Chain A
Amino acid sequence: MAAKPKKQDYKPSQAEITNTKVAVAQRERFVNKYDPILLEQAETAATEDLGSYAAGKKQADTYQVLGKPSMAAARSIDYAADLATAASDQILRGRAAGEATKANRSLSTLASAQGQQMDATTGIGSLARLGNAGTLASAERKLLNRQANIDAGAMLAGSAYQTGKTNLAAGNTFFGGAKTDPVTGKTTEAVNRTDGFFDRLEGGLFG
């Protein structure tokens, strides 16, 4: 028969302890160093006005090219109208590019934050699976134990019944020892309790 399992044989290995310790430390490091950067990125993405910045730059570019004083420009009928149209168009392009950049930045920040949160929920899923496996294994162990107890009880009861029956067939009482008259049921021979425990055990085992 196998030896009873010992708790100390199931202790975590040094590698497992180190693994958990390092994982916890890594996590702390991430939370302290990288998480604030992501938060800062989110705040910047939400508040920074890249559209105005790009629009201002485009306006400056336009006036640098088209705003130079010249006789031809002064005499042109539609110079001012062309200048206004060009500047408006360039500013719009600048604003659109700035807004698109801002949106991309915000979206990638949100995706990173969601990714982190997803990792967390995936962790919960793994944990639930671990817990579930543990619950099932525990239930199985309990069932096995219960069945073993029942089997042992049944075996003992059967053995006692068989012995009692043999005793009765030999003219003894159910529990052996004293002899009884099968007709009257009265004790005809008293129990011999002079033998020691081991003698009686030997008699019980080998007759």
Chain B
Amino acid sequence: MSLLMAGNYDPQQELSNLTQRDYDRFVEKFEPFEDALLAQRNSTKLVDQARLDSQTQSRIAQEAAARNIERYGGAGLSAAQRQEQQRALQRGTSLSTVGTVNNARVAQREINQAITADLINIGQGVNRNAIGMLTSGAEMAQNRYQSYKNARANYSSQMKGMGAQIGSALLGAFLI
């Protein structure tokens, strides 16, 4: 059994398999989710919906007011007063739509800004991690290279030393 095994497990192999599986799983399961969130930072959903909501609420309010007036038998309103009610509703609806859309823009901007800020934080973490890994990789490659160069230099210097010893022995043999 290999010395790298712990019982039936090879911890290095297990860790390698696990990390690869985790990364693949993230790409498969969570990347579409991540892309959707990235797209959401430019969303105009609230603004679009505010226009529709304002129109709908104007209609509902008008219907509620009409039912109210009917319930009280016209409520003693003159024709001029009823016309003024209609104009007030139209004016109110226009102002309400503009106001609601403006507020929706502000709210949308806040939400989009918050999403962007959080996404940037998450992205920074990813980037930091990637840079850290690359730095480690570069350091390891540099260490390996330096070790190789040192080993070569040691080997070369020892070979030269040995050659010098043999050479001096030969010189001794022939010159004495």
Contact = CB atoms under 8 A, between A and B. Distances in A.
Contacts of A110: 30, 33-34, 37, 122
Contact of B85 (A7, A77, A107): A77
B158 A88 contact: no
Nearest to B133: A125
The listed residue with most B CB atoms (<10 A of its CB), out of A21, A78, A117, is A117
Contacts of A55: 53
Contacts of A170: none
Contacts of A39: 29
Nearest to A16: B6
Contacts of A109: 33
Contact of A117 (B23, B97, B154, B158): B23
Contacts of A91: 53, 57
A136 B14 contact: no
A150 interface: yes
Given A92-B100, A92-B107, A110-B33, A125 B46 contact: no
A51 B40 CA distance: 14
Interface string A114-150: 1111111111111111111001100110010011001
B158 A73 contact: no
A165 B170 CA distance: 11
B23 A67 contact: no
Contact of A81 (B53, B88, B114, B148): B88
Contact of A95 (B11, B46, B144): B46
Interface stretch (A154-162, A176-184, A190-198, A199-207): A154-162
B43 to A, nearest CB: 8
Interface in A14-55: 16-17, 19-21, 23-24, 27, 35, 39, 42, 45-46, 51, 55
A65 interface: no
B53 to A, nearest CB: 5
A88 B97 contact: yes
B42 interface: no
A85 interface: yes
Nearest to B93: A84
A80 B85 contact: yes
Given A139-B151, A147-B158, A20 B88 contact: no
A64 interface: no
Nearest to B76: A75
Interface string B1-34: 0010111010110111011101101100110011
Interface of A: 7, 10-12, 16-17, 19-21, 23-24, 27, 35, 39, 42, 45-46, 51, 55, 59, 63, 67, 69-71, 73-75, 77-85, 87-89, 91-93, 95-96, 99-100, 103-104, 106-107, 109-111, 113-132, 135-136, 139-140, 143, 146-147, 150-151, 154, 157-158, 161-162, 165
**9 cross-chain pairs, A with B, having the tightest CB-CB distances, nearest first:** A81-B92, A120-B22, A80-B65, A74-B75, A84-B61, A96-B107, A20-B6, A17-B7, A83-B61
21 contacts: A11-B3, A20-B14, A42-B29, A46-B33, A80-B92, A84-B60, A88-B54, A89-B99, A92-B50, A92-B107, A95-B107, A96-B107, A100-B110, A107-B118, A116-B22, A117-B22, A118-B125, A120-B23, A124-B15, A129-B136, A136-B144
